[in-house]
Amino acid sequence: MGNGDIIGILDLTLLDRGASEEDLVRLCERAVAHRVAAVCVFSEHVRFVRGLLPEEVKVASVVGGFPVGWRDPTKVSKAISEAIDFGADEIDCVLEPTPNGGDASEEDLQILSAMRDACGEKTLKVIIETPLMDEHSIRATSRLAMASGADFVKTCTGKRGDCTDEDARILSMEANRHLVTMGERKGVKISGGIRKTEDARRMLSIMQKEGISTGNPNESRIGASSLLDDLIDGGLGRN
């Protein structure tokens, strides 16, 4: 993949509740200039950035607690609805792992169902926090999320550990498994500590080998705040 192809699946991220209007304007200017897939911000910034962006650049809103997800389905549903009312096209929502690190539960199903119902036809990306889970739990949780209607499964917030090559591989395998068993194509979003072109390219290669179309923003995304600088620079480290 060329650097421009990677930029085309990038969710350019600014998750700073104290971000100024100048910060947000600069974010949107860069998003438009380089044609990223989406801009990802907190819900309180959605209305402002939506007004600055053309329709083809999506606005993704982080809701439902970040980086620690809420375990109250009603509270999660209300937050999603508010973000959509503000103009969000996509929702990134943390499914907080169970405290004992066990398998996905009935409570998880209720939260996921609330997410899907509140999103309606909007794109739902469920963050499963892979750094806090073993492989069995990652697989079980991603399967439940996709079966519950998530459009994407996303590795992590990056606040409690970074995305690994193995995380990218496992989620891609599970998305392909869902396609084979259910006939539905789901997307994979990798995020958390992805700052260099070489790292993004390596993870995307892993995803592609597992059946993910890495040039299609409906199937693959990268969430990052500083990766764009390295991509523009050609991966030469002068950012």
Domains annotated for the chain, with CATH where assigned, are 3-232 (3.20.20.70)
Per-residue pLDDT, 235:
55
Distance of CA 11 to the CA centre of its chain: 8
Residue closest to 30 by CA, chosen among 13, 15, 44:
13
Per-residue pLDDT, 1:
83
Per-residue pLDDT, 98:
79
Report the pLDDT averaged over residues 175-188. Answer: 98
Per-residue confidence band for 234, with pLDDT thresholds at 50, 70 and 90: confident
* Orientation angle between helical segments 106-119 and 135-147, nearest 10 degrees: 40
Report the pLDDT averaged over residues 57-77. Answer: 95
User: Looking at 11, 92, 108, 151, which residue is catalytic?
Assistant: 92
* Orientation angle between helical segments 197-209 and 165-182, nearest 10 degrees: 30
Q: Would you say residue 102 has pLDDT above 90?
A: no
Structure tokens at 102: 């066990």
Report the pLDDT averaged over residues 215-234. Answer: 94
User: Looking at 125, 186, 189, 196, which residue is catalytic?
Assistant: 189
Q: Would you say residue 105 has pLDDT above 90?
A: no
Per-residue confidence band for 145, with pLDDT thresholds at 50, 70 and 90: very high
Per-residue pLDDT, 239:
38
Higher pLDDT pick, 146 / 65: 146
Structure tokens at 126: 């469920």
Clarify whether 209 is annotated catalytic. Answer: no
Q: What is the pLDDT of residues 193-214, one digit of tens each?
A: 999 999 999 999 999 999 999 9
Report the pLDDT averaged over residues 174-188. Answer: 98
Q: Would you say residue 103 has pLDDT above 80?
A: no
Q: 76 with 83: CB under 8 angstroms? A: no
Burial class (CB in 10 A: 0-12, 13-18, 19+), 76: buried
Computed over every residue of the chain, the mean pLDDT equals 94
Q: Would you say residue 101 has pLDDT above 60?
A: no
CB atoms near residue 221 (< 10 Å): 28
Per-residue confidence band for 237, with pLDDT thresholds at 50, 70 and 90: very low
User: Looking at 154, 167, 196, 230, which residue is catalytic?
Assistant: 154
Clarify whether 154 is annotated catalytic. Answer: yes
Per-residue pLDDT, 100:
62
Clarify whether 186 is annotated catalytic. Answer: no
Q: Would you say residue 219 has pLDDT above 50?
A: yes
Per-residue pLDDT, 15:
97
